[in-house]
A and B are shown apart, each in its own frame.
Chain A
Amino acid sequence: KAGVTQTPRYLIKTRGQQVTLSCSPISGHRSVSWYQQTPGQGLQFLFEYFSETQRNKGNFPGRFSGRQFSNSRSEMNVSTLELGDSALYLCASSLDGANVLTFGAGSRLTVL
């Protein structure tokens, strides 16, 4: 059974650009959550999608957005990138109602 797959694994952007990250959950998992990980801040919750609907949202500006497709794959987008957006972006999937998150390896974004 394939795990959670995130692409791309690494990317470099410049300030002002926008970026789209992709996450394919474990087959059968319909809930996908996104987290931002930075040194000293730990994991900050961005949003959770279930059945193509955003179910929960963290405390991030509107530049951060996401969506989920009918096959449960999810994308997140960050517009007008800032230096502070440099981070590891982690995606996690779970069965609805389950109490366990399974994480992907992350997408490391560097903003120059």
Chain B
Amino acid sequence: EVQLVESGGGLVKPGGSLRLSCAASGFSFSDAWMNWVRQAPGKGLEWVGRIKSKTDGGTTDYATPVKGRFTISREDSKNTLYLQMTSLKSDDTAMYYCSFRQAYWGQGTLVTVSS
């Protein structure tokens, strides 16, 4: 059974940093292209970015609002996906989900950016 479990969310001040993790199980994580998607409170879904498998180059792509501030990485030996977020703004307040093939989603971890 595919499982994705996000962690690392919390309250952070504007300009601060936070690293989210997504622990994956039930599939071949090293072969997977993984994604981060977020949802601001009461709002719709927004793609944050993705990372390809190392076999496919391991490259990353980001949505414009987070480019240059967020970094997606992976640690295949630990079946874990990361989202390093820096220079956080109030607009980054959201539930952050990791997703595999768009068919599998974690339960999300809430990030609140507020002073």
Indicate, yes or no, whether A interacts with B.
no
